[in-house]
Amino acid sequence: MKRNALYFVAPRQVDIRQEAMPKLAADQVLVRTRLSAISAGTEMLIYRNEFPDEMMLDACLPTLLGKFGYPLAYGYACVGEVLEVGAGVDPSWRERWVFAFQPHVSHFIASPDSLLPVPEGIPLERACFLPNLETAINLVQDAAPLLGERVLVLGQGVVGLLTTALLACFPLAGLVTADRYARRRVASQALGVSAALDPSAPDFRSQARAWLASGADLTLELSGAPEALNDALMLTGFSGRVIIGSWYGKKPMALALGGEFHRSRIRLMASQVSSIAPELSGRWDKRRRFALAWDLLARLRPEQWITHRFPIGQAADAYRLLDEAPGEAIQVLLEY
């Protein structure tokens, strides 16, 4: 049996390769992928050759061991059906719909303990958002918003929108978002934010300050643009918090730390979903966080942000769209 697998092979080049499948072991299952979601932020770094050399892919995911470098199979949001089960696997796994942190591939073999069964009533399209919603939960837990705070979210891609949707549930004094693309600002406005601003506008900081008074108590930088960090520093108030959820790869940036920042007592925190904050880890683990994510998926219905679907054979067109016309897309899915 052969499968189709997507590989990043060079800057701005992807290839769909046919490759032989390994044999199914007794403790494994065979899954046929139906959909996989492109994670535009991270995958654009790979597509554009902006990933940091010699860095590990993700030591927390067995499917993403090794280091960045071409050719590279990448991705972590597959939903599919279990077709076959090994002799040592409970037969009830057969025909289950499952989520997997798996690169973009038409079929894959996995152990059942690496799969997450899709709960009944969750459409497959919605299940593709699981990893990004887990990321949004992690961001909000790290940010720990307080009653009556003014919050600023820079970046309204999928993670930004999910994070904003969660923050909109809090009794905040104000929730302001920013994104350079009109389509994302419209989606953000639909979540009930105080204002959705364009950070490329010449008077963006003045507009933001009009909504944030003496500055944001809490700012989340999720745009993927390193220059947005200076906006975060300038728009966060005295002793405020800046949560950095963006991954910039090797994109360079000069931070403006020589002025008011020196006296601002602003705290910068890196937030990444691979781990759980030490102050929460006594009560929270991955299982509890995934259970919350499934519950929130049912309420948020993020499939509303799916703008494009491409057959796996046309994946090059999907990445070209995200690279050349990012304002047209929010979530892009690959179909198998």
Reported as a single tens digit per residue, the pLDDT across 83-102 is 999 999 999 999 999 999 99
Quick one: pLDDT at residue 61?
59
Residue 232 in contact with residue 218, Cβ under 8 Å? no
* Mean pLDDT (whole number) for 74-79: 97
Give SS3 for 261: helix
* Mean pLDDT (whole number) for 107-126: 97
* Mean pLDDT (whole number) for 167-179: 98
* pLDDT score of 137 more than 70: yes
In terms of Cα–Cα distance, which of 40, 29, 116, 109 is closest to 74?
A: 40
Percentage of the chain modeled with pLDDT above 70: 96
Backbone angles phi, psi at 333, to 5 degrees: -110, 150
Quick one: pLDDT at residue 67?
75
CATH 3.90.180.10 given to domain 2-118+301-335: yes
The domain spans of the chain are 2-118+301-335, 132-270
Quick one: pLDDT at residue 259?
81
Give SS3 for 125: helix
**pLDDT tens track for 296-332:** 999 999 999 999 999 999 999 999 999 999 999 999 9
* pLDDT score of 63 more than 60: no
Quick one: pLDDT at residue 257?
87
More confident residue, 256 or 104: 104
Residue 191 in contact with residue 168, Cβ under 8 Å? yes
In terms of Cα–Cα distance, which of 222, 92, 226 is closest to 157?
A: 222
Mean pLDDT is lowest, of 49-63, 171-185, 197-211, for 49-63
Mean pLDDT is lowest, of 129-133, 186-190, 257-261, for 257-261
* pLDDT score of 252 more than 70: yes
Residue 33 in contact with residue 49, Cβ under 8 Å? no
| pLDDT band at residue 33 using 50, 70 and 90 as cut-offs | very high
Which tokens in the block code for residue 22?
């390994």
Looking at domain 132-270, its CATH superfamily turns out to be NAD(P)-binding Rossmann-like Domain (3.40.50.720)
Span between the terminal Cα atoms of the chain, in Å = 16
Quick one: pLDDT at residue 131?
97
Residue 139 in contact with residue 151, Cβ under 8 Å? no
Contacts of 312 (CB under 8 A, 6+ apart): 4, 6, 16, 104, 106, 334, 335, 336
Residue 105 DSSP symbol: B
Task: Determine the length of the chain.
Answer: 336
288 vs 280: CA distance, rounded Å: 11
43 vs 33: CA distance, rounded Å: 19
Q: DSSP assignment of 301-330, as one string?
A: -GGGGEEEEEEGGGHHHHHHHHHH-GGG-S
Quick one: pLDDT at residue 54?
67
CA atoms within 13 A on the CB side of 273: 22
CA atoms within 13 A on the CB side of 136: 27
Quick one: pLDDT at residue 53?
73
Single pTM value for the model: 0.94
Tell the residue number behind the tokens 């016309």, with chain if given. Answer: 325
| pLDDT band at residue 255 using 50, 70 and 90 as cut-offs | confident
48 vs 72: CA distance, rounded Å: 13
Q: What rounded mean pLDDT belongs to the chain?
A: 94
Residue 36 in contact with residue 104, Cβ under 8 Å? yes
39 vs 330: CA distance, rounded Å: 10
* pLDDT score of 239 more than 80: yes
